Structures are given as C-alpha cells and as structure tokens.
C-alpha cells in the first residue's frame, strides 16, 4: 500500500459502537487492589526483609580494664578534690579560731615563759656557786697568824675563778674615806691574779698573814693599831649563759692590850669595813670598786 491510500480511522463510528456496547452490557465492578500484596516488602514484619545493621565487635579485655581504671581514676580524683576542699575549709575555720583566740594564747604563752624564767632563775640561785671569805686567827710562837680563805657555800663548784687578796700593813689610823683598795703584791709575789677552783661546800686558796707580837701593844693604854685585808674574786657558776659573779671584801683588824691576871695579853678584833663588801650587782653601787 502506498501512503496516499491510508485513511485515518473513523472516530465517530467507534464512538457509536462503544455507546451501544455500554448500554447493552452491565457495568464492570472495580477489583480492589491489595496494597499489602502489591508491596509486601514494605509492610511485612519478617526480619529478613529489614536492612541488616553491621554487628559491633565485642570489647577486648584491655579495653574493659582501661574503662574500669579510667572510671576509678575519675572517682579518686573527685574524692581527692572533695577532701582538699574539706581540708581547706577546716584549715580556714581553724585559722579563724586561732586568730580569735590569739590574744588569750599570747597571754598564756607569756605567762608560761615568765613561769619558766622564774623557775630557771630560782634553780640557778638555789644551786649556783656562792663565794665569800672567811678568816681564822692563831698564835704561833711570837707571831699572830691570820689566814684569809675563800669559801664556796653553794651547791655547785666555781668555774674559771680568779682572785687576789691584799694586806695593807699596820696603821695607826683607820682607812680614809676615799681609799681605793688597790691590788698590793707582797715581796716575791707574782703580779698576776691567782686562778682557783673551789668545789661545792668547800674552801679555796687564800692568804696567810703573820704579825710579830713585838709590833702589837704590850701595855695598857698603848696606842691602838689597825691593819686591813681586802680582796676580790671573779667567777662563773656551772649554769650556761649566766653572768660573771663578783665578790669583794674588806676586813679591819684592831689590836689592844688587856690585863689577864698579872700578864698582859694582846687581843685582836675583826670587823667588816664600811665599804668594799659586796656581791654581784651590789658591787656596782657608789663607793664600791669592780676589780680590773
């Protein structure tokens, strides 16, 4: 067939046939569509139809211990922080209380220090060495002998003691008021103070003075004679840190003749001088002389 003989379909005839057919045939019933059957994969509960997720690999023992130890470390750090905070709070409160109580504590501490100082001083005073001088008098042939000695009446020995005793000789008059009590050295005596140590409750070195009886009054009414012995001692006690102690003395001896039946006897009396008798701080008073 050629292209010129092709005719287009007659639409009107077809339309008329379809109209007659529709009037003679009963209407067609619509068939329901089961959506679930049409798309079973969208509504099925079969797990095999779901998208499968990748399975997670189990934790290793190392990872488990790492997590456990990390958790423990966090707990310990948290506990430490809490403890530090609590301690800081307690310290702050304690400091506040101390500041409130400081005046009372300071007074108590001062009182304790004073008590300790008093107790220490009392111990030192009660137990320290204490040096003074003593003398004895004897008749030896035609001489009167006087022994001047140092005595330690304390409960502990002396330490580093130096001393010197001087004898002024016979005088017809008492010492003048301005007498300076100089160190006098006997003939042949070394001009160096004597070092001596005296045990507790004991005596130390001194000086012997021998006076011929011919120089003493031999009859009633004879002029009275005077002679003087003076000296000094410097020493420490056994307690550390204590000051140096000083003792100075001066004794006055007088002679006179007294009647004893038909024989005249020389009498020798002794008394402390009005000056140059002191101990420690008392030797700094006016009229006293500290030895050089």
What pLDDT score does 14 carry?
55
Q: Give the position of tokens 């070092």.
A: 195
Kindly state the tokens that stand for 47: 């797990």
What pLDDT score does 152 carry?
94
- Alpha carbon 257 to chain centroid distance? 68
Backbone angles phi, psi at 7, to 5 degrees: -115, 145
What are 52-68's pLDDT values in tens digits?
566 677 778 788 888 88
What pLDDT score does 18 carry?
55
What are 120-154's pLDDT values in tens digits?
666 667 788 999 999 888 888 888 888 889 999 99
């Amino acid at each position: 067939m050629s292209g010129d003989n092709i005719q287009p379909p007659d639409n009107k005839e077809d339309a008329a046939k379809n109209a007659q057919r529709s009037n003679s045939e009963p209407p067609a019933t619509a068939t329901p569509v089961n959506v679930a059957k049409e798309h079973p994969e969208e509504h099925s509960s079969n797990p095999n139809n779901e998208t499968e997720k990748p399975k997670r690999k189990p934790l290793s023992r190392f990872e488990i211990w790492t997590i456990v130890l990390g958790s423990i470390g966090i707990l310990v750090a948290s506990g430490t922080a809490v403890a530090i905070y609590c301690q800081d709070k307690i310290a702050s409160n304690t400091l506040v209380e101390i500041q409130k109580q400081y005046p009372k504590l300071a007074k108590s501490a001062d009182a304790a220090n004073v008590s300790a100082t008093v107790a220490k001083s009392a111990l030192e005073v009660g137990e320290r060495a204490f040096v003074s001088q003593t003398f004895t008098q004897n008749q030896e042939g035609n001489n009167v002998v006087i022994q001047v000695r140092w005595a330690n009446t304390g409960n502990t020995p002396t330490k580093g003691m130096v001393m010197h005793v001087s004898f002024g000789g016979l005088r017809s008059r008492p010492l003048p008021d301005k007498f300076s009590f100089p160190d006098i050295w006997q003939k042949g005596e070394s001009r160096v103070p004597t070092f001596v140590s005296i045990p507790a409750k004991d005596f130390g070195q001194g000086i012997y003075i021998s006076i011929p009886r011919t120089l003493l009054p031999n009859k009633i009414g004879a002029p009275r004679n005077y002679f003087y012995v003076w000296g000094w001692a410097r020493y420490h006690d056994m307690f550390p840190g204590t000051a140096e102690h000083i003792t100075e003395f001066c004794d006055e001896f007088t002679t006179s003749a007294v009647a004893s039946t038909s024989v005249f006897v020389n009498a020798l009396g002794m008394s402390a001088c009005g000056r140059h008798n002191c101990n420690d701080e008392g030797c700094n008073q006016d009229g006293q002389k500290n030895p050089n």
